[in-house]
C-alpha cells in the first residue's frame, strides 16, 4: 500500500498547494508578499505533505542556523527536498525556483505571492536578475534565501553536480553567512524522474557549520563555493549522528 500512500501525498501536494495559494493570496493585505501569515501557511502545507509521505524527518544541529538573514545552500536529489527544507527551516524563507514551475498553476501563483524567485536556468540574464531580487530580500526583509547550487537534481548514487556561483556571489555582496545543509535520503523516498513517490523512509537534514563572509570580496567567492560544496559532499558520506 506504500504506492497508495504516495499517491495520496502527491494529490495533497497539488490540491493542498492550491488551497495554500488561496490562503496566501487572502493574506497578502496583512503585510505584503512574504508576510508571517503566508510563511506559516507555507510551512504547514509542507509539513502535512512530509507527514503524508510517511517520512521520518531527522534534523541534526539545526541550532547552527543563523538567526538573521543568510544564504542556505543544499544538495538536490529529489522533488521531496523542497518540502523537507521548508518544513525544517525557521524564519522568513524564500527559495530560488526553476522557471518551469511557473506551469504549476495555481501553486506557482502562491509561490510568487510568498516572494519566491523564479529563474530560467539557461539564461545568464535571468540568473543575474534572480540574484539581484534575492539580494533585495536579504537586505530589506532579513530573509533566508535557499539555493540548490547544482541547478537541477543529481542522480542518487552519483556525487553532487558542480555548484554554480550565484548563491556565493550574493552572500559576499550582502555580507551574510552561508548555511550549508546536507540532504540525505530523499531520493530513496522519491527518486528523480519517478512520478509516484515511495511512502515511508527516513530523511536526514544535517546543518553544517555556517561559513562567514564578513570582509570577503569578489576574489573570495570561488573559494567560498568550493568550501561549501566540499563540506556538503563530505557530509553525504558520513553516517547519521547517534
Helix, strand, coil shares, percent, the chain, to 5? 50, 15, 35
Quote the CA–CA distance of 167 and 242 in Å, as a whole number.
32
Helices (H), the chain: 2-26, 36-52, 81-88, 107-114, 124-141, 166-174, 186-189, 221-236
Quote the CA–CA distance of 127 and 242 in Å, as a whole number.
40
Confidence at residue 48, expressed as pLDDT on a 0 to 100 scale: 95
Question: Is the separation of the CB atoms in 181 and 36 below 8 Å?
Answer: no
Confidence at residue 242, expressed as pLDDT on a 0 to 100 scale: 60
Confidence at residue 218, expressed as pLDDT on a 0 to 100 scale: 93
- Bridge partner list, 179: 72
pLDDT (tens digit per residue) in 26-63:
999 998 888 999 999 999 999 999 999 999 999 999 99
- The DSSP call for residue 84 is H
Place of cell 523512509: 201
Residue by residue, pLDDT tens for the chain (242 residues) are 677 788 888 899 999 999 999 999 999 999 888 899 999 999 999 999 999 999 999 999 999 999 999 999 999 999 899 999 999 998 899 988 888 877 788 888 889 899 888 887 767 777 778 778 888 888 877 889 999 998 887 776 777 789 999 899 999 999 999 999 999 999 888 887 777 777 788 999 999 999 999 999 999 999 999 999 999 999 998 776 66
Three cell numbers at 221?
Answer: 567567492
Confidence at residue 80, expressed as pLDDT on a 0 to 100 scale: 93
Confidence at residue 1, expressed as pLDDT on a 0 to 100 scale: 65
pTM (2 d.p.):
0.91
Could you give the domains of the chain? 2-236 (3.40.1130.10)
Sequence-distant (≥ 6) Cβ neighbours of residue 100 within 8 angstroms: none
Amino acid at each position: 500500500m506504500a504506492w497508495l500512500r504516495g499517491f495520496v501525498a502527491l494529490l495533497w501536494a497539488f490540491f493542498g498547494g492550491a488551497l495554500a495559494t488561496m490562503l496566501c493570496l487572502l493574506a497578502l493585505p496583512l503585510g505584503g508578499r512574504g508576510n508571517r501569515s503566508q510563511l506559516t501557511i507555507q510551512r504547514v502545507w509542507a509539513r502535512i505533505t512530509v507527514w503524508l509521505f510517511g517520512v521520518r524527518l531527522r534534523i541534526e544541529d539545526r541550532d547552527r542556523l543563523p538567526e538573521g538573514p543568510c544564504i542556505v545552500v543544499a544538495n538536490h536529489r529529489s522533488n521531496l527536498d523542497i518540502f523537507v527544507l521548508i518544513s525544517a527551516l525557521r524564519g522568513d524563507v524564500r527559495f530560488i525556483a526553476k522557471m518551469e514551475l511557473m506551469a504549476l498553476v495555481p501553486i506557482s501563483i502562491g509561490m510568487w505571492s510568498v516572494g519566491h524567485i523564479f529563474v530560467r536556468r539557461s539564461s545568464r540574464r535571468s540568473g543575474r536578475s534572480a540574484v539581484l531580487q534575492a539580494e533585495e530580500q536579504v537586505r530589506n526583509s532579513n530573509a533566508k534565501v535557499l539555493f540548490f547550487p547544482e541547478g537541477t537534481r543529481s542522480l542518487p548514487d552519483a556525487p553532487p553536480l558542480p555548484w554554480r556561483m550565484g548563491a556565493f556571489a550574493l552572500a559576499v555582496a550582502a555580507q551574510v553567512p552561508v548555511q550549508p545543509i546536507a540532504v540525505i535520503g530523499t531520493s530513496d523516498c522519491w527518486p528523480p524522474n519517478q512520478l509516484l513517490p515511495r511512502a515511508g523512509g527516513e530523511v536526514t537534514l544535517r546543518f553544517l557549520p555556517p561559513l562567514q563572509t564578513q570582509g570577503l570580496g569578489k576574489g573570495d567567492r570561488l573559494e567560498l563555493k568550493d568550501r561549501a560544496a566540499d563540506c556538503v559532499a563530505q557530509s553525504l558520506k558520513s553516517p547519521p549522528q547517534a
